[in-house]
A and B are shown apart, each in its own frame.
Chain A
Amino acid sequence: DIQMTQSPSSVSASVGDRVTITCRASQGISNWLAWYQQKPGKAPKLLIYAASNLQSGVPSRFSGSGSGTDFSLTISSLQPEDFAVYYCQQGDSFPYTFGQGTKVEIK
């Protein structure tokens, strides 16, 4: 199975900060990497697919990059509604796997 490792596990940040979360795959996954946002008690929401494609309706302050084994999600200017848990997911090989999650908390 492909292991997805996110870092950091949690980050404290202020409104307006730039936040970057990284995700490393245990083997190459081309660009089959997605990022999801999950708020408490809610379903995940797709933010980025195929490593760098912004999902329709997602604010442009979210961006993704990377290929192969190393990927990142950047929030250029953190907004109050962005405090949540973020997961990466590889869609390259079965079983599809998620990172352990990164919690973005208010500083």
Chain B
Amino acid sequence: EVHLLESGGGLVQPGGSLRLSCAASGFTFSTYAMTWVRQAPGKGLEWVSIISGSGASTTHVESVKGRFTISRDNSKNTVYLQMNSLGADDTAVYYCARGMTPKIYDFHMDVWGKGTTVTVSS
């Protein structure tokens, strides 16, 4: 069964850092692009970051550029989101999702994890 499991969320002070992880199982991980999508409390969905199957291509939404870094370890079937300089606007449920091809272009998400909650507060 195809499965994604996020971890690493929690309460962090403004200006702090967190690293989210997403462990994948049930499919050939390196042949799919992976992405992070977040959802602030009571709000809609916001795409955050994406990485190609090989890990060679990445990009982020403008609001997190320079603060968030997406990476992956295909030997561990895991994708990561390193989040620095966190602010209240980053408070959200963070979902890991799988793309339908290895590339970051022409992108839809066919498998989602259950999400991990990040709360930025003093």
The count of A-to-B residue pairs whose CB atoms sit within 8 angstroms is 57
A-to-B contact residues, CB < 8 Å: 32, 34, 36, 38, 42-46, 49-50, 55, 87, 89, 91-92, 94-101
CB <8 Å contact, A91 and B45: no
Q: Which of B47, B110, B114, B115 has a CB less than 8 Å from the CB of A96?
A: B47
Contacting residues, chain B, for A92 (C-beta < 8 A): 106
- Residues 74 to 122 of chain B near chain A (Cβ within 8 Å): 95, 100, 106-115
Q: Tell me the count of chain B residues lying within 8 A, CB to CB, of chain A.
A: 22
Q: Which of B37, B44, B59, B110 has a CB less than 8 Å from the CB of A94?
A: B59
CB <8 Å contact, B108 and A89: yes
Write the B43-62 contact mask toward A (1 if CB under 8 angstroms, else 0): 01111001000000001011
Complex CA distance for A42 and B112, rounded to whole angstroms: 10
Q: 19 new A-B pairs (CB below 8 Å) besides A36-B109, A91-B107, A98-B46?
A: A34-B108, A36-B45, A43-B112, A43-B113, A43-B115, A44-B37, A45-B112, A49-B100, A49-B108, A87-B45, A89-B47, A89-B108, A91-B108, A92-B106, A95-B61, A96-B47, A98-B47, A99-B44, A100-B44
